Chains A and B, each alone.
Chain A
Amino acid sequence: MPMTDSWQTAEIPGPKKASLIIKPDIADAMIRRARRPIMVVGHGILEYEVEGRKLIDCLIELSRRGKIPVVATASTNQEFLNRGFSPSALMPAVDLANRLTDARWNGLDGKDSYDLAIFVGLPYYMEWTILSGLKHFAPHVKTMTLDCVYQPNASWSFPNSSIKDWAANLTCIVANLGD
């Protein structure tokens, strides 16, 4: 399938569509360049495991190395806690996204607004609509999805890819960030 087709075929996007993350370096550069990134992790991430490693572990590592605060939605928090990791906030995705549209919102810690919001693990169609809301009403925030499917309403998205490639990409992003 074309790399910029929505994963769900009827979710026809545009005219404004996400730029492709064709290699992990791009995501890595976006994260490095961000002044105040935040990562929203949905429950979908709990389903995935590659070669015995849960992908949520990759995200924990990404958060630690990139110093990216994590917002756990739904019941994702339980799995983080099981791994000895405490998210910065527990908040529903729509609530967090709504706050992101407010350019004067000073973030979870009350210090400053975010300029990069990373999404991963929400139901595809829900992430699609939430990213659309941010695309139109949060021009001050770039959005990036780390899912293995193309999300056209993000600023940056991976193309549709296999779980194995996805895991490799996540691992590479984390490695690039260094210790």
Chain B
Amino acid sequence: MSRKGVNIKIKELNSDIAQLRDISLTIGAINNDTWDEPMGPTPFPSLTTLRNWDLTLLNRYKPFYLPFCDLCCLCTYGKCDLSGTKRGACGISMPAQQSRTVLITACIGASTHCGHARHLLDHLIEKYGGDFLINVGDTGVEVEAPVIRLVCGIKPVTLSDLEPVLDYCENQITQLLAVTHTGQEGYQLDFESKVLHAGMIDQLGMEVADIAQISALGFPKADPESSLADLGLGTVDTGKPVILVIGHNVPPSTEIIDYLQKKSLTSDVEVTGICCTALDITRYSSKAKIIGPISWQLRYIRSGIPDVVVIDEQCVRADTLQESAHIRAPLIATSEKNCLGLPDRTDDPVDEIVHDFITGKQTGALILDPVKVGEVAVRTSIGIAPLRKKHKTLPKDTDAIIALAKKCTQCVLCRRACPNDLPLPAAIKAAAQGNLSGLDEIYDDCLGCGRCEPPCAQKIPIHSLIVAAAGKKTRDETYCIRTGRGAIQDVEIRKVGGPIVLGEIPGIVAFVGCANYPKGSREVAEMCMEFAKRRYIVCTSGCSAMSAGMYRNEDGKTAYEQYSGHFEAGGIVNVGSCVSNAHIAGAAIKIASIFAKRPLRGNYEEIADYVYNRVGAVGVAWGAMSQKAAAIAAGFWRLGIPVVVGPHGTKYRRMLLGRSDKEEDWYVYDARTGKKVYGGPVPEHLFFAAETKEEAMVMIAKLTMRPNDTSKGRANKLANYIDLHKRLVGGIPPDVHLFVRTLSDVPLTMKDEIVTHLHDHSWKENPIPDPTLLKRMIHKEKEG
């Protein structure tokens, strides 16, 4: 498929059949299709093409709405009180209003990834040409774009081939956003169906972005042994000029690396990053360092270590300009989406911009040319470092912390503003008396949002107190992370496809998303290591990938040093940044298409039905905060992959929960006979918020179960579920009888106690079906 527009003009043509003059013919796309698989039923699906599939899922996992507010404030009819059974002036009900908000959230997320992808793709096509070949794996990757192939039914070969995919995404997002206008959709499940559509579009946008940057920028290509990169605030050589990059769109940062290389300055300047730009810059250069997730922005800037701050887009704090100014570090904004009120100096000479930064004439500038950003950032960092001398805004020593703490009146407003309700007043009171241990402990659980500071009438910089009190901890943050490998190889899929579908590998657990954790990063690392130890395949991406590396076990090893990067049982597989999440969905899709040989092309329902019934994958967004995280989750839901979030995830306003006690909800078609048979409550939920890490771990193990599990596989999954439940909750899971279909499912080592439990619960045997939710799959020859 090629999108290149072709214009043919014929001034005069004389032939046997006609005489033509002044003919102009424009062809928008040339179809040079090299994919011989027949087109499936749903290429480029519209808003309603997959509605039946969505409603099948949503009738099993009915939304449980958790309104953030009793009101609707979206139009001038309002505010409308929607509490109880009231309806708004437009007629909307509370459930519909909640799902409408969820759709708006998912649209924001999908548009952000697609906007990022468009920005990136345009840049890469301009720099490398539209004919630049896509290559996400030098060996072992033939299905280079599983999401695009599945949804759009096309096989991209060059960068230009990705453009029609984004055209489609942009069209669909426009239509989806229009749905949220007053007086459009009125029924919650139709809103929810469109949420799932937005999630699928989001996966396309992510896949476009990552395969484009992997191909053009030379990122690791499905390399399970991609190099380890430095991670943590303590890894920075503060004796050098330091550049900080924040955001998600990597071209300005790669230009910084290129400029350093061109001028042989690579060893003289530190390039450090926060959030996904950091992940992607380490995929580009082994010299770059990751400071940490999104929540490290305030603490790192206030440390005074960065000499120049370069921001691009997404998840950048809106007050970065002010924070940077406080430490006298110039800020360069590089994205049209995030201009921060700065003057546009894109067309100004580099010398002038650098001069203005170093002399303090200007604290920030918008520069929309990535190449120019590279030169300005490097030259400014070298010029300004000796002048600003790592000027910081953190309290300079213990005495300074104590002096500030003594101003506290114990009004408690800091705690009441803290998202995690951390015991700040008590810690500050102790600090005033010289005991900093409380503040030091809070550092571990702190989100780094700084919300504690504005309410303080005494203007105590509370977040800075926390960071300063934990000075030793920050200096000791010297970890490592396996750089994002990108796609999963086809050959890896062939090896694990059988064991996953049969249940011998108990599941795939993907830790993704932001850092809005209830109790700090460490919980993510602990969960990753626990599931890897249990021989699940663990995937990581985004801020969670960083958090997974920010903890050392008793042997002093991080998760990435202890476990392999192969997509195999017991592997911890960092796919990369937010947009790399598409590879996790892609792996599930490839299990269906490569291992099970299900038709892939434009065949969404069948593949999703396969994944839902057979691939024991679970997404975990323990600190999900953003609209992008919501869209990513929605993409997994439509594929039939459940997602677990932390307690803050209830603020997404609704869960998608199954009812294991309602037997009638869990019938599937047996594809062999066409009969509707009980398949069991698996997976029990599609979107679930756990209260604690312990509850999450037990639920993750439970949600890997699928109706198709063989008895050996189910026994393996049950053994993990029961063992985790015993250890973390206490006792045998009270619902274990719901997941035993035949006595062969019972783990051998637990047989006596489980059989007793079955007896106590009037358990009866159920056959293991060849499960499908799609009537049209009945009588099809079973594959895989």
Q: Which residues of A contact B (CB under 8 A)?
A: 7-10, 12-16, 42-43, 73-75, 77-78, 81, 89-90, 92-95, 97-99, 101-102, 105, 122-126, 129-130, 132-133, 135-137, 139
Shortest A99–chain B CB gap in Å is: 7
Shortest A135–chain B CB gap in Å is: 7
Neighbour of A92 across the interface among B68, B70, B690, CB < 8 A: B690
- In chain B, positions 392-438 with a C-beta closer than 8 Å to chain A are 413, 416-417, 419, 421
Shortest A114–chain B CB gap in Å is: 14
Q: Is the CB of A77 within 8 A of B650?
A: no
Closest to A92 in B: B695
User: 3 shortest A-B CB distances, which residue pairs?
Assistant: A129-B66, A129-B650, A74-B692
Q: Is the CB of A129 within 8 A of B699?
A: no
Neighbour of B66 across the interface among A8, A16, A133, CB < 8 A: A133
Closest to A77 in B: B730
Q: Is the CB of B66 within 8 A of A15?
A: no
Closest to B67 in A: A132
**Chain B 184-225, CB within 8 Å of chain A: the 1/0 string?**
000000000000000000000000000000000000000000
Which of A42, A81, A95, A101 has the most chain B CB within a 10 Å cutoff? A95
Neighbour of B650 across the interface among A16, A89, A126, A135, CB < 8 A: A126
Q: How far is the CA of A124 from the CA of B647 in the complex (A)?
A: 10
CB-defined contacts of B690 to chain A, threshold 8 Å: 74, 92
Binds A, one of B137-145, B653-661, B748-756: B653-661
Q: Is the CB of B648 within 8 A of A125?
A: yes
- In chain B, positions 690-736 with a C-beta closer than 8 Å to chain A are 690-692, 694-695, 699, 728-731, 733-734
Q: How far is the CA of A74 from the CA of B729 in the complex (A)?
A: 7
Neighbour of A8 across the interface among B416, B650, B661, CB < 8 A: B416
**Chain B 541-557, CB within 8 Å of chain A: the 1/0 string?**
00000000000000000
Neighbour of A10 across the interface among B64, B82, B417, B695, CB < 8 A: B417
Closest to B684 in A: A95
CB-defined contacts of A81 to chain B, threshold 8 Å: 730-731
Q: Is the CB of A126 within 8 A of B647?
A: yes
Neighbour of A75 across the interface among B84, B685, B699, B729, CB < 8 A: B729
Q: Is the CB of B691 within 8 A of A136?
A: no
B530 within 8 A of A: no
B563 within 8 A of A: no
Q: How far is the CA of A135 from the CA of B70 in the complex (A)?
A: 10
B477 within 8 A of A: no
Shortest B222–chain A CB gap in Å is: 37
Q: Is the CB of A92 within 8 A of B699?
A: yes
Neighbour of A99 across the interface among B653, B661, B685, CB < 8 A: B661
Q: How far is the CA of A81 from the CA of B455 in the complex (A)?
A: 42
A-B contact pairs, 27 of them (CB 8 A): A7-B421, A9-B416, A10-B417, A42-B691, A43-B692, A73-B695, A74-B692, A77-B729, A81-B731, A92-B688, A94-B64, A94-B655, A97-B64, A98-B657, A122-B647, A123-B421, A123-B518, A124-B421, A125-B421, A126-B648, A126-B650, A126-B689, A129-B66, A129-B651, A132-B66, A133-B65, A133-B67
Q: Is the CB of B655 within 8 A of A98?
A: yes
Q: How far is the CA of A51 from the CA of B67 in the complex (A)?
A: 38
Closest to B417 in A: A9
B83 within 8 A of A: yes
Q: How far is the CA of A105 from the CA of B661 in the complex (A)?
A: 9
Which of B70, B83, B657 has the most chain A CB within a 10 Å cutoff? B70
Q: How far is the CA of A102 from the CA of B62 in the complex (A)?
A: 11
B258 within 8 A of A: no
Q: Is the CB of A94 within 8 A of B650?
A: yes
Neighbour of A137 across the interface among B65, B69, B416, B648, CB < 8 A: B65
B81 within 8 A of A: yes
CB-defined contacts of B421 to chain A, threshold 8 Å: 7-8, 123-125
Q: Is the CB of B84 within 8 A of A136?
A: yes
Which of A81, A94, A124 has the most chain B CB within a 10 Å cutoff? A94
Neighbour of B731 across the interface among A7, A77, A135, CB < 8 A: A77
CB-defined contacts of A126 to chain B, threshold 8 Å: 647-648, 650, 689, 691
Shortest A112–chain B CB gap in Å is: 15
Shortest A153–chain B CB gap in Å is: 9
CB-defined contacts of B650 to chain A, threshold 8 Å: 94, 125-126, 129-130
CB-defined contacts of B413 to chain A, threshold 8 Å: 9
CB-defined contacts of A101 to chain B, threshold 8 Å: 64
CB-defined contacts of A15 to chain B, threshold 8 Å: 70-71, 81, 83
- In chain B, positions 49-89 with a C-beta closer than 8 Å to chain A are 64-71, 81-84
Q: How far is the CA of A124 from the CA of B653 in the complex (A)?
A: 15
Known: A74-B729, A92-B690, A126-B648. 13 other contacts (CB 8 A): A7-B421, A8-B419, A15-B70, A73-B691, A74-B691, A75-B694, A94-B655, A97-B64, A98-B64, A102-B659, A105-B661, A132-B66, A133-B66
Q: How far is the CA of A17 from the CA of B398 in the complex (A)?
A: 45
Closest to A17 in B: B70
Would A136 and B455 be within 8 Å (CB), given that A9-B416, A99-B661 are in contact?
no
B439 within 8 A of A: no
CB-defined contacts of B70 to chain A, threshold 8 Å: 13-16, 136
Closest to B64 in A: A98
CB-defined contacts of B256 to chain A, threshold 8 Å: none
Neighbour of A95 across the interface among B66, B83, B419, B657, CB < 8 A: B657
Q: Is the CB of A123 within 8 A of B734?
A: no
Q: Is the CB of A89 within 8 A of B647?
A: no
B96 within 8 A of A: no
CB-defined contacts of B648 to chain A, threshold 8 Å: 125-126
CB-defined contacts of B639 to chain A, threshold 8 Å: none
Shortest A60–chain B CB gap in Å is: 15
Would A133 and B417 be within 8 Å (CB), given that A15-B81, A90-B729, A92-B699 are in contact?
no
Q: Is the CB of B84 within 8 A of A93?
A: no
Q: How far is the CA of A14 from the CA of B695 in the complex (A)?
A: 31
CB-defined contacts of A99 to chain B, threshold 8 Å: 659, 661
B94 within 8 A of A: yes
Q: How far is the CA of A148 from the CA of B411 in the complex (A)?
A: 17
CB-defined contacts of B731 to chain A, threshold 8 Å: 77, 81, 90
Shortest B646–chain A CB gap in Å is: 9
CB-defined contacts of B64 to chain A, threshold 8 Å: 94, 97-98, 101, 133, 137
Q: How far is the CA of A43 from the CA of B734 in the complex (A)?
A: 19
- In chain B, positions 626-659 with a C-beta closer than 8 Å to chain A are 647-648, 650-651, 653, 655, 657, 659
CB-defined contacts of B417 to chain A, threshold 8 Å: 8-10
Which of B64, B65, B413, B657 has the most chain A CB within a 10 Å cutoff? B64
Q: How far is the CA of A78 from the CA of B726 in the complex (A)?
A: 9
Q: Is the CB of B84 within 8 A of A94?
A: no
Which of B657, B685, B688, B729 has the most chain A CB within a 10 Å cutoff? B729
Q: Is the CB of A9 within 8 A of B647?
A: no
CB-defined contacts of B685 to chain A, threshold 8 Å: 95
Q: How far is the CA of A90 from the CA of B81 in the complex (A)?
A: 36
Neighbour of B692 across the interface among A75, A125, A133, A137, CB < 8 A: A75
Shortest B671–chain A CB gap in Å is: 30
CB-defined contacts of A8 to chain B, threshold 8 Å: 416-417, 419, 421
